[in-house]
Amino acid sequence: MDKIRWNQLFTPRTLKRGYELYQSGAVEDIQHNEYAIKGSIFDDDDYYSIVYLRDGMIEDMDCSCENEDEYCEHIAALLYAYDPKQTYQFHYFQEVYTDEKYKSVIRDIITESRSYKQMINKLISYKRSILPTITEDSLGSLNLVFETFYLISSIPEEKDDFLEELKNDLKIIVSYSHNKKTLLDVFEREYHFHKYEKEDEEYLTEVFLECFNETELYEDKFRIVNHMILGSDALKDNWVGRMQYSRWISIGLKMLQEAHQSHQDILHFLDTHHNYPPVFTGYAKICLENRNSNKALEVVELGLKYHQEDEDLLKLKEEISPCLNLNIMDWADQFTDVILKRGYDYFYKKKIKKLYQEPYGIAAVVEGSEDYHVTIDLKDEQVTGMYCDCPYANKGHHCKHMAAVLLACSDCENYDDIKEKLDIKFIKELKERIHTLPRDQLEQLLFNEMRFNESLQQRFNDLIETTTIQDKYLDYLVELIDDNEDHIPTLLKKLKKYLRISLSKLISKRDYKTAHALIACAFCKVTYLDPKKEVYEILTDIHEYLRQLIKIYPSSEEAFNAVKELYSDCCLPFYEGVIDPVLLNDFDSKQFYDLKFNLIHQKILYSSLYDDRELQKVIYERWTKYGLDLLIESGKEESVILDYLSQYADSEAVQVNYVDYYVRKGHYQKALDILDEHTGDAYEVKKQEVIEAMNHHKEVS
C-alpha cells in the first residue's frame, strides 16, 4: 500500500490558499475521533470539511464547497489546523480494474446508444453475457457490476428493475467470495467516490448490510457506517442530507445492538452523532420495551442535552420520570431551614441531572461542585431513609442534595408554598406550648414515644452522636464552600483563612475530633479541584495541621489510624502526597513498623486497580520504594532486604534506592553489581553516578 504525506495531494496553489485560511483563523469547531477529523471553515461562506481516517491514516477527504478540484483549500486549511507538522499519511484503496476489453465494450455502448433506454438495455445484456464467464474472479465480477450500476444509476430513466437485478448480482458475488474483506474495501471505495442518489444508494446499502456479517468484518463495517454518517452530516441542511444522515445513524445504532455492545458504548455513539433527535427516542423506547426505565431516561436526558425543545423527547421524559406526589409535611422537618432553602435553590435551578424510580424508592444524580448520588428509601410514599455521597452527608447530616430530590417528588411549586406549609398556625402554636411545658414532662413524653418507635430512636441517636461544636464548625465550612463554589480562587482564599483560624483554636484546645473532622471535610473538597498553585498551598497547610494534630491525640496509634482514614477522603491519587509523609516520617518506624508495613503492602496491591497504566506504575514505584525505606530505617537484616528486592525486582525505584543505600555505606562494588543485573537508560545513568562517586572516594582517600 503506497503511503504519502497529505500535503502531496494538493496543488501548490491550493496548499498556499489553505495555509492562508488557517493563518487567518478561518478554521473553527475542529472535532476528531478514530474515524474522522472535521471542522468548519469560513471563506466568504461557511464550509464543512471532513477527513476520513482508517487505522490512523487518511482514507479520503470531502468538503461541502463542491469545488471541482478533488481536494480543495478548505480541506487543506483543516489539515493545517489539526496537523501543522504534516505527519498524517494517505493511503489509496486497492484499485480493482475491470478488464480493459470489457471497459472498451462499455465505452462503445455509451457512444453508440441513441437513447438512454437503449443504453440501459445494451449494458444489461452485455453484463448478462459476460458475468457468468468471470464468476471465479470475484473482484473482477464486482467491479463490472459496479461499473454497470454506476452508469445506469446516473441515467434519468425508469431503471428500478435493472438496479434490482444488479443488486442481486452483487449479493451472489459477495456470498460466494472467499475474500470478503477485499470486497468490503471495494464497497467503501464505491461509497466514497460515487455520490449516488438516495434511492440508488439504498440498493448498495442492502447488500452492504446483508452480506458482510462476519465477526471479523465488524470493525471495518462499523468504520464505513461512521464515515457515511460524518459525510452526510455535511449535507444535513438540505432534505436529502437529513434523510441520508438519519438512515446511517439508524444503521449504526442497529449494528451496535445486534453486536450486543454495552449501553455505555451506545450512549457514546449517540453522543458523538447527536444531530438526529428521533434516534434518541427510538433507542429509549427499546430500553423501555426491555423494562429498563433507568437506561431509557439516560438516553432521553442525553438527547435533551442537544435538543432541549424536542417535543417527543420531552413527552417521553414525562412518561419515564418518577410520578410521585410526596407530602412535604412528612419529611421537611428533617432539614434545617437553611438546608431546605438551599435544596429548593438546587431544585429551582434544575441541578437534578437524573431522577429514577427504583423498587426501593428514588435514585438521583445532583449537580454540585461535582456530581453527587442521592437515594431516597420510600415505603407507602413515606420517607424511611435518605443517603448522599457528598462530604456533608457523610458526616451524618441531611443535605441540600437530598432536599432538592425530595422537592422534585413533592407537591410544591415554589419556596413560598413550602414556607406556608411549614409555618402554619398549628405549628407555631405547638412550638409555643412546647416552650411552656416543664422539662420533666417533656422528657417523659419523649421517653414514652421513643420506647416502641425504632425510627425515632435512630434519629435521636444520630442527633446526640454529633457534638454541637463540631456541627458549628462543619456547617460553616459547608456554607463557605457552597457560597463560593462557582469562583474557585475566592473559595480557596477564604478556605485557607478559615482553616488557619479554626484549626489553631481547636488544636490549642486539644479538640482533636473536631479538628480531624474539619481537616477531612476540607481535604475531601480540595482534592476534587484541578491541580494549581493555590490548591497546593492549601494542601501544604493541611500537611502542617496534620503534623500538629497527631501530637494532641490520646495515643499515637489512634492518631496513626485517624490520619490513615484520610485516604478515603482523597479522590485523586497524586494528592495523597499530603498524607504519606505524615504516616511514614512522623511516626517512629520501629514502634509502628507493623502498621506501616501493612499500609505499604495494601497500597502496592491497590496500585493494580487503577485503569491508567502510567498511574499504576507511578503508585507502584512510589510505595515499593517506601517499603524499602522502611526496612532500612527499621534496621532489618540484609537477608530481609534482599528478599524484598527479589520480590519487587520490577520496581526501578526500589533497585535505584537500594543502590543509594550501598553507596552511602561505601560499598560501591555491591551497588555496581545490582546495576549490572538491569538494563535501561535510568540504570545506565545511575551506574555512571556510582562510578563517579567511587572515583571521588578513591581520590579523597
pLDDT digits (tens, 9 = 90+) for 431-449: 677 778 888 888 888 888 8
Q: Is the pLDDT of residue 195 over 70?
A: no
Q: Is the model's pLDDT at 552 over the cut of 80?
A: yes
* Residue 231 one-letter amino acid: G
The pLDDT value given to residue 93:
47
Mean pLDDT of 669-681: 75
Q: How far is CA 119 from CA 142, 170, 181, 684, 701, in A?
A: 20, 21, 33, 76, 101
Cell of 660: 543509594
Q: Which of 283-292, 452-461, 564-573 has the highest mean pLDDT?
A: 283-292
Given a cut of 70, whether residue 6 has pLDDT beyond it is yes
Nearest to 512 by CA among 457, 463, 562, 451: 562
Phi, psi for residue 347 in degrees, rounded to 5: -65, -45
Task: In the chain, count H helices and then E strands.
Answer: 33, 10
Reported as a pLDDT band with limits 50, 70 and 90, residue 96 is very low
Would strands 352-358 and 361-367 be described as parallel, antiparallel, or unpaired? antiparallel
* Angle at alpha carbon of residue 213, lines to 207 and 214, rounded to 5°: 140
The pTM of this model reads 0.45
119 pLDDT more than 70 = yes
Q: Give the lowest-confidence range in 32-36, 83-87, 318-322, 521-525.
A: 318-322
Which of 12-21, 241-250, 314-323: highest mean pLDDT? 12-21
| DSSP string of 456-474, one letter each residue | HHHHHHHHHHS-HHHHHHH
Q: What is the mean pLDDT of residues 346-354?
A: 82
State how far the Cα of 658 lies from the Cα of 643, in Å rounded to an integer. 12
Task: Confirm if 320 and 357 have CB atoms less than 8 A apart.
Answer: no
Statement: residue 514 has pLDDT above 80: yes
Q: Please tell me the predicted confidence (pLDDT) of residue 466.
A: 46
Identify the DSSP state of 410: B
Contact status, residue 570 vs residue 538, Cβ threshold 8 Å: no
Radius of gyration of the chain (CA): 36
* Strand extents, DSSP E, 326-484: 352-358, 361-367, 371-379, 382-388
Q: Binning pLDDT at 50, 70 and 90, where does residue 402 land? A: very high
3-state SS assignment for residue 326: strand
pLDDT band for 234, please (50, 70, 90 cuts).
low
What is the separation, in whole angstroms, between the first and last Cα of the chain? 66
- The mean pLDDT of 398-423, rounded to a whole number, is 74
The Cβ of residue 481 has, within 10 Å, a number of other Cβ atoms equal to 21
**CA-based nearest residue to 130, from 154, 101, 172, 163:** 101
Q: Is 356 helix (H, G, I), strand (E, B) or coil?
A: strand
Poorest-pLDDT segment among 48-52, 134-138, 530-534: 134-138
In this structure, are residues 282 and 266 in contact, taking their beta carbons and an 8 Å threshold? no
C-beta of residue 506 within 8 angstroms of C-beta of residue 518 = yes
Question: Which pLDDT score is estimated for 700?
Answer: 75
Q: Is the pLDDT of residue 180 over 70?
A: yes
What residues pair up with 4 in beta bridges, in sequence order? 90
| pLDDT at residue 232, rounded to an integer | 74
